[in-house]
Amino acid sequence: GEHVFIGAMATHDEVLRSGVVQADIPLVALAVATVADPAVRHRGTFGGSLAHADPAGDLPAVVLALDGVLVARSAEGEREIPAADFFVDYLESSLRPGEVLVGVKIPKLGPGWGFHYEKFHRTAQAWAIVGVAAAVRRNNGAIQEARIGLTNMGSTPVRARAVETALQGVELGDQVRQACEEAAADTSPTSDLHAQADYRRHLAKVLTHRAIRSAAGAP
């Protein structure tokens, strides 16, 4: 098929060990590997992380960057919700009363794509202060397309659309760094005991640059 379906009750560890996930949607595997610690990854579920709709969680930004589609079910039937419409506010999703999340469809990206998840956190078990999920397609040395999701840069996960647009046709070099200066555009990070909003904006630019270079295969 053209997508991989991950059931909502699949644990993080099951997703991480899936050969299909590693082969067809490797960005998911890269991000799941950073979730909390082994104990949490063995008990926490992929669907739970998405339905919780915490912008500091690693997986919402990844599913958003990959244009995932979430599948909800109720007594009335089943409906599909694009990730861009699923996360509506802090800890709030577009699930309706009586609906449960049953899984997510994540499109497979073909040859030529590279992936990276860059995460800044205080300790190995901590939530991301900022995280960046990046998928990059190159052709003849230039970036043809980039998809970027930001963790903890607002009340929901955020697509870095300005950077995605600025990177089109750009070769690796100073232009990539300049494009990544737009990473904090249209974001609304908060200040808390872990980081001030301005620091998060700075991190978003730095981490996006790192993630894009890594996804593009730069040394």
| pLDDT tens per residue, range 102-143 | 999 999 998 999 999 999 998 776 789 999 999 999 999 899
Q: What percent of the chain has pLDDT over 90?
A: 93
Measured CA to CA in angstroms, residue 55 lies from 22, 99, 142, 149 at distances of 24, 21, 31, 11
Residue-level pLDDT at 126: 77
**pLDDT for 33 beyond 80:** yes
In which element (H, E) is residue 180 found? helix 174-180
Strand partners, 143: 138
**pLDDT for 1 beyond 90:** no
Q: Which residues contact 182 (CB under 8 A, 6 or more apart)?
A: 160, 162, 163, 166
Q: How confident is the model at residue 45 (pLDDT cuts 50, 70, 90)?
A: very high
**pLDDT for 210 beyond 90:** yes
| pLDDT tens per residue, range 123-134 | 776 789 999 999
User: Nearest CA to 150 among 119, 124, 113, 121?
Assistant: 119
| pLDDT tens per residue, range 192-205 | 999 999 999 999 99
Fold of the domain spanning 3-107: 3.30.465
Residue-level pLDDT at 127: 87
3-107 matches 113-215 in fold: no
3-state secondary structure 1-27: CCEEEEECCCEHHHHHHCHHHHHHCHH
The verdict on pTM exceeding 0.85 is yes
Residue 195 sits at the vertex; the CA angle it makes with 189 and 199, to the nearest 5 degrees, is: 70
Q: How confident is the model at residue 63 (pLDDT cuts 50, 70, 90)?
A: very high
Distance CA 13, CA 39 (A): 9
Distance CA 91, CA 53 (A): 5
Question: What does CATH list as the number for 113-215?
Answer: 3.30.390.50
Helix (H/G/I), strand (E/B), else coil: 172: coil
Every domain of the chain and the residues it spans = 3-107, 113-215
Measured CA to CA in angstroms, residue 219 lies from 102, 111, 136, 141, 210 at distances of 40, 20, 15, 14, 11
Residue-level pLDDT at 108: 97
